[in-house]
Amino acid sequence: MTDSSNARFNSEAETWDLNPDVQAATKSAVKCLLEKVPALSPDNPSKPAILDLGAGTGLLSLALAPHASSILSVDPSSGMISALNAKLAKPDAPQNITPLHALLTSADSPLLPTSPSGGRQRFDLIVSNLVLHHVPDIQAFIKLTFDLLNPGGVIALTDYENTGPEARKFHPEDKIPGVEHHGILRAEIHKMLFDADFVDGSVETGWVMRKPVERFPGEWKDGKPAPKEGEEPCEMDFNFLLIMGRKPTA
């Protein structure tokens, strides 16, 4: 994550969960993951240890908590992690989520918990939602997830697709700082999975999200304007991709 991304997310942390687009994307991501990721199936004899990269305020982590043995929720924004800590302080909060304020760049980072064997913790499943488009070097991120997995572990990453110049409209102009990519390119990601030594790599449409967009750049400087009487809201459909890959067992 870049400094501009962190500045934005720190400033928006307290109101992040009030954004209906954030809530809709999270709800769809959870539904997609529960349907597509075998490790999250109720038929799985053992619940996975999950790493949520770019966890934000913990919306995805909290939804997946019943399906996990443990979740390490990592985010480089101190404001986002503070918001997650506040949620976890409530009496009815799940007890299997550990927040971590960090920008992980190495699987051997001293910020990672230690495993019972003495090395750094490894994970059965790594998830992230709407994170990749903020990452300057996606190939390095993909390789990092490979290194953080247990043998046989799986990544399941979700983000919106770059379908051309119109994909820029996913963000209003005042949210562009910190956006490194206007969506994810299928072919590029598929090659990155192969180059990182993942097997069973796949990049498929997980769901389609319809959301309001600006009619012209900068229209939403003071928030989303209400449509005039008789005027239809300006909306677009955005494909969300589910990116999966498995680390070989040997």
The pTM for the full model equals: 0.94
pLDDT digits (tens, 9 = 90+) for 46-100: 999 999 999 999 999 999 999 999 999 999 999 999 999 999 999 999 999 999 9
d(CA 40, CA 99): 20
Cα torsion angle, 125, 130, 132, 135, sign: negative
Residue type, 46: S
Residue 214 has pLDDT above 70, yes or no: yes
Task: Report the DSSP pairing between strands 235-246 and 199-212.
Answer: antiparallel
- What pLDDT, on a 0 to 100 scale, did the predictor assign at position 26? 97
Domain count, the chain: 1
User: Is residue 10 classed as helix, strand or coil in its secondary structure?
Assistant: helix
**Half-sphere exposure of residue 193: CA atoms within 13 angstroms, side-chain side:** 23
d(CA 45, CA 152): 15
Contacts of 31 (CB under 8 A, 6+ apart): 207
Confidence of residue 201 (pLDDT cuts 50, 70, 90): very high
Contact 95, 75 (CB under 8 A): no
Neighbours of 89 (CB within 10 A): 8
Token digits for 131? 């994170």
- Percentage of the residues of the chain whose pLDDT score is greater than 90: 80
Strand partners, 100: 74
- What pLDDT, on a 0 to 100 scale, did the predictor assign at position 3? 61
Neighbours of 160 (CB within 10 A): 23
Confidence of residue 232 (pLDDT cuts 50, 70, 90): confident
- What pLDDT, on a 0 to 100 scale, did the predictor assign at position 224? 79
Chain mean pLDDT for the chain: 93
Per-residue exposure over 206-240, b if at least 16 CB sit within 10 Å of its own CB, e if not: bbebeebbbeeeeebeeeeeeeeeeeeeeeeebbb
Contact 219, 171 (CB under 8 A): no
The label of the residue with tokens 């190939």 reads: 139
Cα torsion angle, 51, 3, 182, 184, sign: negative
Residue 1 has pLDDT above 70, yes or no: no
Residue 6 has pLDDT above 80, yes or no: no
pLDDT digits (tens, 9 = 90+) for 171-191: 999 889 889 999 999 999 999
Terminal-residue alpha carbon distance, the chain: 32
d(CA 6, CA 203): 28
What is the arithmetic mean of pLDDT over 206-229? 87
Residue type, 102: A
d(CA 61, CA 39): 15
The CATH number that applies at residue 137 is 3.40.50.150
Residue 155 has pLDDT above 80, yes or no: yes
Strand order in the sheet with 235-246: 97-101, 70-75, 49-53, 123-129, 149-160, 235-246, 199-212
Per the structure, the complete domain to which residue 163 belongs is given by: 3-246
- What pLDDT, on a 0 to 100 scale, did the predictor assign at position 147? 98
